[in-house]
Structure formats: structure tokens, C-alpha cells
Amino acid sequence: MEYLDRFLELLNTLPPWLAYFFLGLSAFIENIFPPIPGDTITAFGAFMVGTNRLSFFGVYASTTVGSLAGFMALFWTGRLLGRTYFLEREFRFFKREDIVRAEEWFRKYGYLLVLMNRFLPGIRSVISISGGISRLNTLKVAALALISCAVWNLIWIAAGYSLGANWDTVREGMSRILLRYNTAVFIILGIVVAWFLLKKFLFSKKEPS
């Protein structure tokens, strides 16, 4: 991604306070617009900690606040616009069937989904929108989303920092870790979905005709 490399080069030349701002902004935008590689930019922040350009706390705080702000922005969007607005439209990153599926998950798991949102690749933005549509308690959502963002970013930044002060090594290592993690999560989710479908099928077969 040439545009990403250019942005990272720019980020490395900025004064610390501005670098923190852009790290937080990228974490915010990642929630609003999922294709933005926010985790890669966060990993670059960890690399800058390793080269003593930025402080660990500064990178951690800015990315966590940005992630939380992005999640809550979508939460309030879902709350204000309501269910009908999203179901009547087919947004590329907030598909109708994804929102309906997320609503079903909320009925079963409630606030646990909010707590785990950062660890669920591909659906974290849908969770925030659906949480707002479901009119969950705002304070509980904010607290659980903060915990989720804080734990995820701590793991991600610590891992990036531990890989050393060479950006190519950090990027390659973090990409490998994230790929393995996402693959494992999708396999587990697939098994869970298959189990529920099988259970539903077997239950329907037992019902008297």
C-alpha cells in the first residue's frame, strides 16, 4: 500500500504531539471506515516507541481514546438513526444481513459482545452500530468498549515494541500474528455458527409435525 507507506513516512517526521494526534485519528477512522489499516498504524506507533521517538503511554493513550471515540460515534449513529434506516439501505460495510445477525447475537450475549468487540475482526463496526440500534445502556457500553480497546491496544503495542526497532521486521511480524489470529477467530466462529445451525436443525426435526 503505497499511500500507507507515505503516511507512515510522514508520521515519522512529525513532532510527537502531532504524531499522537494522527495515531488517535487513525484509530478513530478505522472504526468508521473499516478498510483503513488502523492496527498497522498502531504497530508503527509501537515501532516509534522502540526507536525512542514516542512514549509508550502516549501511543497507548492516543490509540485507545481514538478507538473508543470511533466505537461510540457509530454507537450513537445507530441509536439516533434507528433500525429502519439501516435495514432500508444497503451500505457496503454495514450490510443489512450483518446488522440483523448482530441483533440476534445481542439478544443472546448482550454486553459481552461489546466487551469482546476489538477481538472480533470484520464485525466490530457492525457491533457498535447494532448496539446503538438495540439501545443498550450508554455508560455500560462506553465502559466495556474502553476495556476492550485498552486490552487490545496494550497487547498490540507491546507485541510491536517487542519485535524490535526495525520497521520491516515489525510490520512482517505483526502481519503474521494478525493473520494467524484472524484465521483462528474465523475458524472458531465458523464452528460456533455450524453448531447452532446443526442444533436448530436437530431441534426442528424433533418437533411434532
Q: Is the pLDDT of residue 178 over 70?
A: yes
Instruction: Kindly tell me if the per-residue pLDDT of 209 is higher than 70.
Output: no
- The span from the CA of 156 to the CA of 188, in Å, is 21
Range 24-27 contact pairs with CB under 8 angstroms and sequence separation of 24 or more: 24/62, 24/63, 24/65, 24/66, 24/69, 25/66, 26/63, 26/66, 27/62, 27/63, 27/64, 27/65, 27/66, 27/67, 27/70, 27/153
Please tell me the distance from the alpha carbon of residue 7 to that of residue 16, in angstroms, as a whole number: 15
Residue 64's pLDDT is 95
Task: Return the half-sphere exposure (C-beta side, CA atoms, 13 A cut-off) of residue 129.
Answer: 25
CB contact burial 155-194 (16+ within 10 A = b; e otherwise): ebbebbbebeeebeebbebbeebbeeeeeeeeeeeeeeee
d(CA 130, CA 134): 6
pTM of the model: 0.79
Condensed to tens digits (0 to 9), the pLDDT of residues 44-73 reads 888 888 888 899 999 999 999 999 999 999
Please answer whether residues 122 and 30 qualify as being in contact, where contact means their C-beta atoms are separated by less than 8 angstroms. Answer: no
Residue 184's domain spans which residues? Answer: 2-206
Mind listing the pLDDT tens digit for each residue in 185-196? 778 777 866 776
- How many structural domains does the chain have? 1
Share of the chain above pLDDT 90, in %: 25
pLDDT at 117 over 60: yes
Mean pLDDT score, 78-85: 83
DSSP letter for 117, please.
Answer: G
pLDDT tens digits, one per residue of 124-155:
888 888 888 888 899 999 999 999 999 999 98
